[in-house]
Amino acid sequence: MPGSSITAVVRPAAADDVAAIARICSTAYRDAYRDLLPEGYISRSVAEFYSEQRITRDIAPAVPDWFGYQVVEEDGRILGAAGGGMADTTAGELSLIYLEAAERGRGLGTLLLDRVTEQIRDAGGTEMWVSVFLGDSRGIGFYRARGFQPMDTVRATLSREDDHIRSLRMRRDLAG
Ligand SMILES: CC(C)(COP(=O)(O)OP(=O)(O)OC[C@H]1O[C@@H](n2cnc3c(N)ncnc32)[C@H](O)[C@@H]1OP(=O)(O)O)[C@@H](O)C(=O)NCCC(=O)NCCS
């Protein structure tokens, strides 16, 4: 259909992308979980994972545990970021995926997911996992639409004993 084609490309992030990644991930994280998670937990997580300092450290790959940040870019603008790595020899993990709010729902998240999936396959992965906060119906809906099944729940990363924040572990087979 004219006008609906995606001209965006996914590529490994470079040092110049750090500020855009930090802004997109911090903003999207706050927006996505404002009504779901305590403010203290959100601030702690954003400071831990999405500061420019932390992203500068994480931008490059540390294979096989981390394939490095991937970004989706269109007309010279960074619109989203994702990253993943191997949890063991056969299981890959999608660690994060975030887009600019105005750019959701037109296939860019799928492009990023496809890139990380390809990296996991190339590293010998036969299955792929992702953690999503329990109650995050949009996130869970996206992963379900892309073939992930809910498996079990775990205490969320950085969640303290009294926060009671839990994540749903979802799994997708990569065989075939
Ligand atoms: C989640 C996110 C990365 C998805 O990217 P996106 O570009 O919006 O998604 P896409 O357009 O590639 O594809 C969306 C697919 O998921 C489906 N989908 C999305 N939300 C859904 C929902 N709540 N219920 C059912 N299906 C849903 C769409 O129908 C579409 O599938 P289709 O193409 O087969 O119709 C993006 O919306 C985002 O950054 N959201 C905020 C942050 C977030 O929630 N991150 C994930 C937390 S772990």
| Ligand 1 atom closest to residue 143's alpha carbon, by position in its atom list | 16
What would the pLDDT profile of 60-84 be if each residue is shown by its tens digit?
A: 999 999 999 999 999 999 999 999 9
* 29 close to 42: Cβ distance less than 8 angstroms: yes
Q: In this structure, what DSSP letter does residue 166 have? A: E
pLDDT in tens, 98-120: 999 999 999 999 999 999 999 99
Assign residue 44 the CATH number of its domain. Answer: 3.40.630.30
Look at residue 1 in the predicted model and tell me its pLDDT. Answer: 45
Distance of CA 54 to the CA centre of its chain: 15
- CA of 105, closest atom in ligand 1: 11
- Whether residue 135 lies inside any domain: the answer is no
Residue 149 lies in a domain: no
Domain that holds residue 88: 9-130
pLDDT range class, residue 160, cuts 50, 70, 90 = confident
Q: What domain count does the chain have?
A: 1
Instruction: Note whether residue 3 is domain-resident.
Output: no
**Residue 73 near residue 9, CB atoms below 8 Å:** yes
Residue 148 lies in a domain: no
pLDDT attached to residue 172: 98
Q: Is residue 23 part of a domain?
A: yes
Residues in contact with 82: Cβ distance below 8 Å, sequence separation at least 6, in sequence order: 69, 70, 72, 94, 96, 97, 98, 112, 113, 115, 116
- Which protein residue has the closest C-alpha to ligand 1 atom 26? 141
User: Is 168 domain-assigned?
Assistant: no
Ligand 1 is surrounded, with C-beta below 6 A, by 28, 32, 97-99, 104-110, 132, 137-139, 141-142, 145
3 forms beta bridges with: none
Residue 122 lies in a domain: yes
Which of 142, 146, 168, 170 has the most ligand 1 atoms within 8 A of CB, as the residue to mutate? 142
Find residue 10's DSSP bridge partners. Answer: 72
* Residue 111 alpha carbon to ligand 1 centre in Å: 11
Kindly give the distance from the C-alpha atom of residue 10 to the centroid of ligand 1, in angstroms, as a whole number.
17
d(CA 9, CA 88): 29
Residue 163 lies inside a defined structural domain of this protein:
no
